[in-house]
Amino acid sequence: MKQPMGTKTETENTSQPIRIIKESVLSVDNHTQTETCTVSPSYSKTLKTPKINNSKQERHEQPRHARENLREKTVKLNDPKETLIISSSILQMIRTRGLTKNTVVKTIRGANTLHIRHELENMDLKDFKTFFIQVGGNDASNKREPELVECEFVNMINIIRITTRGARIILAECPPRRDANVKIVNHIIGKVAESYDVECLQTVGSFIRQNGHLNSEQIWRDGIHLTDRGTATLLRLYDTLVKVIKEKSDTTTINLNNSHVGACFFCGEEGYNSRFCRHETKIQCWTCSKFGHKMKKMLVLIKLGHWQCMLCRNFSFGNNEQI
């Protein structure tokens, strides 16, 4: 029997087990949320290897930098991949050159647990031995139903276990954020990890100061994404479980090019540069009218009701109040 054009048949996957995946569907008219179940076979797709034209004419026409990029991609395709880090845009600051060659990072902007599950279905996972799943913050900010979030985490585990053989699965907690409470999602992550015998990586304590506030050096000004320093902190947590950082690379230099900076150009505070400063411009001392800059910490600004530099505090016309 001839098949009409535009249709495909899947004969090689009929022997695979069937998995029921729960998805959420929103009814716009009734403003109610219902659940539907779709049945799909479990199988893994193989990635197509891009064709590389090595003819002399092609190499002659391509510029030098293009040929180098092409050669670099060819080498990367041959490297064995063992560790997959998949997440939302919270890990967008990761620079893969500081990671081991067998580590793959996949970030999806604005992704929730549903998007990550779809991505895992469409990826070739059979060669990976370790999976870091870093997702859930967008589920918390969008206030998705906890039952749906839990169902998606379970589906991710099932997809990995069906596709791979004895892979190590690590569910990472969501770092704290200002726009949402992640306690419920993190509770779900811990619950699923315990029920389905996978690992749970606790991350919240590494991003909170002793006073209970978010660490502004690790959380971006939007209160959602991680800075370079925060990304390095998360990578160090990953590295305690599975080696993902190169032996001769420092986690500080992987994501912190500003570690050598003594003080911020805008405010004079130490530990970061003007790129991560909460002030959008240089702040001016209300006593001496000088701007904050790096000069042997002489103009490190402090807040005493107003912004005042250390230089003015040492003079009689300055405010000598102790901090």
What are the structural domain ranges in the chain? 18-39+68-255, 259-323
Check if the beta carbon of residue 229 is closer than 8 Å to that of residue 257: no
CATH 3.40.640.10 fits 18-39+68-255, yes or no: no
Residues (pLDDT < 50) of the chain are 2-3, 6-21, 23-50, 52, 54-62, 65, 68, 71-77, 249-254, 256-261, 293-307, 314-323
Residue 193 structure tokens = 């990890």
Q: Is pTM, for the whole model, over 0.75? A: no
pLDDT tens track for 97-121: 889 999 999 999 889 999 999 999 9
Beta strands in 48-167 (DSSP E): 83-88, 103-108, 130-134
CA distances from 95 to 99, 138, 169 (A): 8, 22, 22
pLDDT tens track for 173-219: 999 998 899 999 999 999 999 999 999 999 999 999 888 888 888 88
Rounded to the nearest 5 degrees, what angle is found at the Cα of 176, between the Cα atoms of 195 and 87?
Answer: 65
